Structure 1
Amino acid sequence: MKLTLQQLKVFATIARYGNLGLAANELCLSKGAVSQSLQELERQLATPLFDRIHPRLQLNNEGRLLQPAAEELLTRMQDIETLFSPDAEPSGQLRLGASQTIGNYLLPTLLASSQQELGLPPRVTITNT
């Protein structure tokens, strides 16, 4: 079984709207592509996820079981994309080492002026060289 993120995204969008056409519009896909993706997901899981009540699709018990897991996975995927996007906030830890003189007299002023630019809490070690 090879589920894809795209299948889960299609499933979650259909579950949100209860309609293939509205889901297709949000995903910028054709209605046929959305339908095919859902059919493949249901085939791989060997169970229907919706009750078809024309013109709507209503989550059945199996669909309600899948929905929270799919939403969580999609949220985590979005978090990863955001974390590594070019305009993401810096993350990590800044580690600095300094001798006694530099660490005690110059480093505090430098850190204070650059703290707002970096946005990272520094970790400083001051020892003799």
Structure 2
Amino acid sequence: MEIRQLQTFVTVVAKQSFTRAGIELGYTQSTITAHIKELEQEIKAPLFDRIGKRILLTENGKHFLQYAKEILRLSHEAIASLHPLNQPAGTLRIGATETLMVYRLPPVLLAYKKRFPHVNLVLLPSENLDLNDKLTSGEVDLAVITDIKTEEAQVTNIVLTKENLSLVAPYQHPLGQKKSVTPIDLSSETLLLTERGSYRDIVVRWLQLDHGTPSIIDFWSIEAIKQCVKSGLGISYLPSITVREEIAAKRLIALPWVHQDDHVLTQLRFHKDKWLSPAMEEFILLMQQHAAMWQDHDQHSE
């Protein structure tokens, strides 16, 4: 017994005609007839009396009709329960670096939750190096990262925006008086760094190439780094978005770094073999919409 057969039966009763039921459902009359015969064979009882051109429900047909309607109702209810109000539902697991979790994602998450309240968002802060592994293992559905590379095996990648980088120091730092700061100039400084596998690697590469030899302290948090830079512990190399307010308030200074064109790319990634659920598709679309606004805002802030 199939749902389409029950739908045919209920429609024939409503239209009082095999022909009109076929027009309603988009079936030929022979298909309508076949559906009814298949039902009658399965329940081992006739559903209609054919009297001339008229069709009348038999007693068995009348009895079966109420069950057919209930089965169809439950079928529709079951489908609707998976997509309340025709909206995405279920759980969406998003991995992201601390930078993006703090400075890019909050407005996106707020807009998404307002638009799709039936989606349960699970946020998993992580470092760049771990996020591709989590995509591959299925631990996260989507990963939002900052990286230099835009290609990874088994991963679909969407570039969202360019993130400029700033070499920052306490306000009034002596290096702020120079016209250009080189890796060699950092040799006597302490460099506070975080997030291996991203912008940290850029400044480390320049130091290695130009034989700059600063002392390096590893940190777990950008906010901790900024506080320590402000207190005079050292200088740091961070996405410009993370220090924009402190620079404007003159609590930090952006040094005239010789490699001003350095940048990373904020990217949205998912596994190539991953089925894109409606919840994922809507989040990807919303991220792209917000990324367009980020680009416009960043251009006006430069």
Q: TM-score, normalised by structure 2?
A: 0.30
Identify which range, 45-54 or 62-71, moves more after superposition: 45-54
In 2, the alpha carbon distance for the partners of 1:64 and 1:76 equals 19
Question: Does the alignment pair 1:50 with 2:45?
Answer: no
Q: Is there any run of 5+ residues in structure 2 with no aligned partner, and where?
A: 91-109, 119-302
**Letter of the structure 2 residue corresponding to residue 79 of structure 1:** E
Name the residue aligned to 2:34: 36
In 1, the alpha carbon distance for the partners of 2:34 and 2:86 equals 35
2:83/2:89 contact within 8 Å kept: no
Name the residue aligned to 2:96: none
In 2, the alpha carbon distance for the partners of 1:54 and 1:46 equals 23
**Letter of the structure 2 residue corresponding to residue 70 of structure 1:** A
In 1, the alpha carbon distance for the partners of 2:10 and 2:81 equals 22
Q: Is there any run of 5+ residues in structure 1 with no aligned partner, and where?
A: 93-112, 121-129
Greater helix percent: which structure?
1
CA RMSD of aligned residues (A): 3.4
Residues matched between the structures, number: 108
Name the residue aligned to 2:71: 73
Note closer, same or farther for the CA distance 1:63–1:91 as it changes in structure 2 (3 Å cut).
Answer: same
| Identity across the alignment (%) | 26
Name the residue aligned to 2:25: 27
Shift of 1:61: 0.5
> Helix, strand or coil: the match of 1:15?
helix
1:57-111 per-residue CA deviation (whole Å, 9 max, x = no partner) reads: 111110010111100111111122233349624668xxxxxxxxxxxxxxxxxxx
In 1, the alpha carbon distance for the partners of 2:64 and 2:46 equals 11
In 2, the alpha carbon distance for the partners of 1:117 and 1:42 equals 47
In 2, the alpha carbon distance for the partners of 1:20 and 1:49 equals 13
What does 1:5-20 align with in structure 2 at a 5 Å threshold? 5-20=3-18
